[in-house]
Structure 1
């Protein structure tokens, strides 16, 4: 577990609030992605957001050179590989097994792996609420390969969250750590984007979707996530990010005119209660 400098005596909400704010931004990913041009592969859409957003994080962060010089390079490489792995595994998982199953498996994996030992009851309640929320409508299509890809995405998310939290806990600036990790992920993902095809980026819809994913759901969201990790352990942080599907569900109702069954609303309420409790010290 990372160690944290408590000399500044941060407020109890100093960590949870930025992480929950990041979840609000991540929750727009699915809605934004639905406006991508039809020829764009799902993995290419995710890769484009990471390539440009990760590069922006690296170029705008102060202290990245110091982090690259002094931090454990094996940890930085692990963070970059797993950050790239999340994007490249999650979007194909959604394409194969659907948003509901992929989201449930990917987002529930990290809290189960990291949070079940520290706060088991709240973690279990939050994961259950998330599952009921996204699967409450029934009719989910389970594709074995898609489930495996979602599991890889969830484990990847857990890994780079722990890496970032550990490096930040050692005293490295949060923005520099996030910039170094996601800058590396950008470099690793760029060849994949080229291989998948990037011609769709030249269309107005492609540019708009990529700009949103790069600026909002990658650049700004991960700045907030890194800030939250300064005062929140990786286990709690990954459980708090279960708020993301709740945001996505509400946007689906408001923007895409989707309908949520009663069971999903009940799951959202259970999830909200659990996340509220986790936000307390």
Structure 2
């Protein structure tokens, strides 16, 4: 169930590009900032509704309020929300959509695994390594098959790695807060709320006149509701029960969704190379979804360790 929640979140993430393509021609940076702001408001509303419902069922909300909110995970998570938007869009502008997307999405699972090992001494298992290798190779193949061609920029690649690191930091910080007992909605509401505050200068200084049109408002509402509020509630619900590195790998289903929606909604036709990439990503996700084999218990070798038969 937890893996399905993360995959559903990745499906919601994958609608972002199609929504922007169907919407107005606006600056990607301002669209990203508006998306986070609308999503934060919806997440705060979801937190309020859930807290009210729990309080009505016996005061569970007061128990949640007494939990301390550690500053470091909150700051790291909010910074991850904000810097991902800035780094990713800057990377795509500098080095192209294909390279920027591949490096950002491909580096996030590896960096999340490294961060989990450094912070929690949790060594990723072999299934995760195989799945991540397959999925990242599939993302690269899918991007190449999409026909994206651009000169590789060192600065652009560095920005894309920064986006991957931001996403990994957000995932690890969210996992830390969830493991401490905080509920899904308050965690996401706070991280995106503080992230929106960090991005507020973009809303003040950038051109957001596109919001005054019906199409612009509809695009902002969709991006804030589906690939942000709904998606990250599903994402955090799965993250509560799964390692952060595995969740980061599962979200690589996002480009598959984007490619399929592009074909169905926008009339794009992925070529054979892109189809191979989709199959590779799905194969990697299947490795993660496969049940793990438990190690058999050691059989006692000495009579002292052997169990005594009942009389």
Name 1:20's counterpart in structure 2.
7
State whether structure 2 residue 120 is matched by structure 1 residue 120. Answer: no
Name 2:179's counterpart in structure 1.
169
CA distance in 1, matches of 2:27, 2:184: 32
2:234 to 206, 224, 236: 224
Structure 1 pair 68–29 and aligned structure 2 pair: CA distance change class (3 A): farther
Alignment of 1:64-213 (within 5 A): 70-115=68-113, 118=124, 119-141=128-150, 142-213=152-223
1:255 to 261, 265, 280: 265
State the Cα distance separating 1:241 from its structure 2 match. 0.6
CA distance in 1, matches of 2:148, 2:22: 24
TM-score in terms of structure 2 length? 0.80
Q: Report Cα offsets for 1:185-243 as digits up to 9, x if no partner.
A: 11211222221121111112211111110011111000100101111110000001110
Name 2:56's counterpart in structure 1.
none
**Larger mean Cα displacement after TM superposition, 198-207 or 63-72:** 63-72
Task: Give the conservation status (yes or no) of the 8 Å contact 1:67–1:176.
Answer: no
Task: Give the conservation status (yes or no) of the 8 Å contact 1:129–1:271.
Answer: yes
Q: Report Cα offsets for 1:68-101 as digits up to 9, x if no partner.
A: 9602112101111111111222223233333222
CA root-mean-square deviation: 2.1
Task: Give the conservation status (yes or no) of the 8 Å contact 2:133–2:284.
Answer: no
Structure 1 pair 180–67 and aligned structure 2 pair: CA distance change class (3 A): farther
**Secondary structure of 1:209 counterpart:** helix
2:33 to 37, 44, 47: 47
Pairs aligned (count) = 267
Give the greater-gyration-radius structure (CA). 2
TM-score in terms of structure 1 length? 0.88
State whether structure 2 residue 248 is matched by structure 1 residue 238. Answer: yes
Structure 1 pair 97–22 and aligned structure 2 pair: CA distance change class (3 A): same
**Larger mean Cα displacement after TM superposition, 264-273 or 137-146:** 137-146
Q: Report Cα offsets for 1:30-74 as digits up to 9, x if no partner.
A: 111123433x21111111100111122123213699569602112
For structure 2, the residue ranges without an aligned partner over 5 or more in a row are 52-60, 115-122, 292-311
Name 1:5's counterpart in structure 2.
none
Name 2:17's counterpart in structure 1.
30
CA distance in 1, matches of 2:112, 2:66: 26
For structure 1, the residue ranges without an aligned partner over 5 or more in a row are 1-13
**Larger mean Cα displacement after TM superposition, 99-108 or 245-254:** 99-108
